[in-house]
């Protein structure tokens, strides 16, 4: 299996699995950002995961900016939007997919 295909599959999993957990919250509470943050940081263990995701998001944005320019990746905004809409679980594999596509284009040229 090519890395590009693997990254595309991880995009699907990285969208489906987080939303599988988030949709019940939305059904029960609708859009309640304050409650979401209260529950996210309700205890030290959930806070650890919340902070990990926030730091990982910033790292992803830096990676997209630096490596994306270096590799000639187009549409660098897409992984950032994916990160904000779903999370690192979609933003990172999407960027890696885009990077592989850019590297393939560069190898063909």
Give me the domain span that covers residue 52: 3-108
Q: What is the pLDDT of residues 11-41, one digit of tens each?
A: 999 999 999 999 999 999 999 999 999 999 9
1: pLDDT strictly greater than 90:
no
Q: What's the number of domains the chain is made of?
A: 1
pLDDT of residue 12: 98
- Tens digit of each residue's pLDDT (9 = 90 or more) over 59-105: 999 999 999 999 999 999 999 999 999 999 999 999 999 999 999 99
DSSP secondary structure of the chain = --HHHHHHHHHHHHHHHHHHHHHHHHHHHSS-HHHHHHHHTSSHHHHHHHHHHHHHHHHHHHHHHHHHHHHT-S-THHHHHHHHHT-HHHHHHHHHHHHHHHHHHHHH-
């Amino acid at each position: 299996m090519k890395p590009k295909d693997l990254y595309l599959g991880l995009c699907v999993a990285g969208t489906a699995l987080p939303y599988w957990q988030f949709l019940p919250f939305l059904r029960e509470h609708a859009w309640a950002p304050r409650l979401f943050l209260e529950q996210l940081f309700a205890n030290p263990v959930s806070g650890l995961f919340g902070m990990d995701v926030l730091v990982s998001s910033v790292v992803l944005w830096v990676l997209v900016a630096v490596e994306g320019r270096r590799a000639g990746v187009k549409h660098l905004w897409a992984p950032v939007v994916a990160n904000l809409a779903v999370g690192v679980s979609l933003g990172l594999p999407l960027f890696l997919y885009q990077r592989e596509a850019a590297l393939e284009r560069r190898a063909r040229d």
